[in-house]
């Protein structure tokens, strides 16, 4: 099934991004495995836990673990090329995000979530893994600060949840995933960011 292949593709891409953060942070091979793992399946795992869909999805299907393992070794082997790989990696990441958002929102709907909650679960599936990766790497999650990453996920999730009830799953998935992909590519191309706002430090 195409969606499943894309899901594994997204898993591989997210795993590579996690492994490279581990390299940057001077972790060992185990650290790279863990960061690859949480980046790839962290968002979906939290989604499953919140839904009560336990045991979580990668318990039943170890192909996810195999893909993550292979991707981590691949990322470590090719770590010297990480700079040249930035552009293709981010395009691949955009596709992974699009797929994860659709899968996450769809799973929440099958568990009877309200539309707005289904959108949140899509965003969580797409962005949660990267956020845990950043927390483990002792950084503020990038998704909370930079780029049109979250807004692409939100827009995609909202469009999917709406169209899914009107046009059915397949069309909704294709359209919303395309939307996420286009928003991400446009953002990468233009380096757009959401408006930021700052406060003077509060002593509390």
Q: At what angle do helices 115-136 and 86-110 cross, to 10 degrees?
A: 140
How far apart (Å, rounded) are the C-alpha atoms in residues 84 and 166? 42
Q: At what angle do helices 2-24 and 63-77 cross, to 10 degrees?
A: 40
Among 3, 73, 91, 137, binds a second copy (CB under 8 A): 137
| 63 touches a second copy (CB under 8 A) | no
Comparing CB distances to a second copy, the nearer of 9 and 115 is 115
Site for a second copy, residues 185 to 204, rule: CB under 8 A: 193-199, 201-202, 204
Q: Which of 96, 156, 165 is nearest to 122 (CA)?
A: 156
| 52 touches a second copy (CB under 8 A) | yes
Judge if the upstream peptide bond of residue 55 is cis by omega within 30 degrees of 0. yes
Work out whether the CA dihedral 120, 190, 13, 77 comes out positive or negative: negative
| 78 touches a second copy (CB under 8 A) | no
Binding segment for a second copy (CB under 8 A), chosen from 8-16, 26-34, 162-170, 172-180, is 26-34
| 59 touches a second copy (CB under 8 A) | yes
Site for a second copy, residues 106 to 125, rule: CB under 8 A: 111-114, 116-117, 120
Q: Which of 66, 73, 63 is nearest to 20 (CA)?
A: 73
Among 2, 5, 70, 86, binds a second copy (CB under 8 A): 86
Residue with tokens 């091979």: 29
Judged by the rule CB under 8 A, the positions of this chain that interact with a second copy are 20, 22-31, 34-35, 45, 49-52, 54-56, 58-59, 62, 65, 76, 79, 82-83, 86, 111-114, 116-117, 120, 131, 135-146, 150-151, 154, 193-199, 201-202, 204
């Amino acid at each position: 099934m195409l969606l499943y292949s894309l899901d594994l593709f997204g898993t591989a891409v997210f795993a590579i991004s996690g492994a490279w953060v581990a390299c940057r942070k001077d972790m060992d091979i185990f650290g790279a495995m863990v960061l690859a793992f949480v980046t790839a399946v962290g968002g979906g795992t939290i989604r499953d836990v919140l839904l009560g869909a336990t045991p979580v999805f990668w318990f039943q299907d170890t192909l996810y673990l195999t893909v993550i393992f292979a991707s981590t070794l691949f990322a470590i082997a090719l770590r010297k090329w990480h700079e040249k790989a930035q552009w293709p990696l981010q395009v691949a990441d955009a596709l992974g995000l699009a797929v994860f958002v659709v899968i996450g929102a769809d799973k929440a709907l099958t568990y009877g979530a309200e539309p707005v909650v289904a959108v949140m679960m899509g965003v969580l599936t797409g962005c949660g893994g990267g956020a845990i990766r950043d927390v483990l790497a002792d950084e503020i999650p990038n998704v909370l600060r930079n780029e049109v990453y979250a807004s692409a996920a939100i827009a995609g999730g909202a469009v999917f949840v709406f169209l899914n009830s009107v046009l059915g799953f397949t069309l909704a998935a294709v359209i919303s995933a395309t939307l996420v992909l286009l928003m991400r590519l446009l953002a990468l191309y233009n380096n757009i960011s959401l408006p930021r706002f700052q406060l003077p430090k509060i002593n509390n």
